[in-house]
Amino acid sequence: MPLCVINTTTASYSPSLPKEVTEILAKCTGLPVELIMVDINVKKDLYLGSSNEPCAYVFVVASKNIDKEHNQATSELLFPVLTEALGVDKSRMFIQFKTVELENVAIDGHVLG
């Protein structure tokens, strides 16, 4: 059930981005790609340091493997892919990681926890 929400000021992204992000999250969480959702939002009004130069905010939520070690490994894989696919410098991109309890997630009409 990992979810990755990508918000960016850019108008477009590489067509391979959803698949690449899905594969990275599958590898880093140990979950199958069928359970991973990617939401990409372009042309957002985002400002970093009051500048509207291209930037991105990425939110990763999962039920496991969200800790310093896994977050570092995931970041090392995501940043180059996002930089290339979005055309946003890695210094203008944030990734936030959050753990969610399975009792707070439902799929196919059923709560997971």
Which letter does DSSP use for residue 35 in this model?
G
Distance CA 85, CA 52 (A): 19
Show the tokens assigned to 76. 């090392």
- Tell me what the mean pLDDT of segment 23-49 comes to: 96
The pTM for the full model equals 0.94
Split at pLDDT 50, 70, 90, the class of 12 is very high
Q: Are 94 and 57 in contact (CB under 8 A)?
A: yes
pLDDT of the residue at 52: 87
Domains in the chain and their CATH numbers?
A: 2-111 (3.30.429.10)
- Which 3-state string (H, E, C) describes 54-103? CCEEEEEEECCCCCHHHHHHHHHHHHHHHHHHHCCCHHHEEEEEEECCHH
> Could you report the per-residue pLDDT of 73-85, keeping only the tens digit for each?
999 999 999 999 9
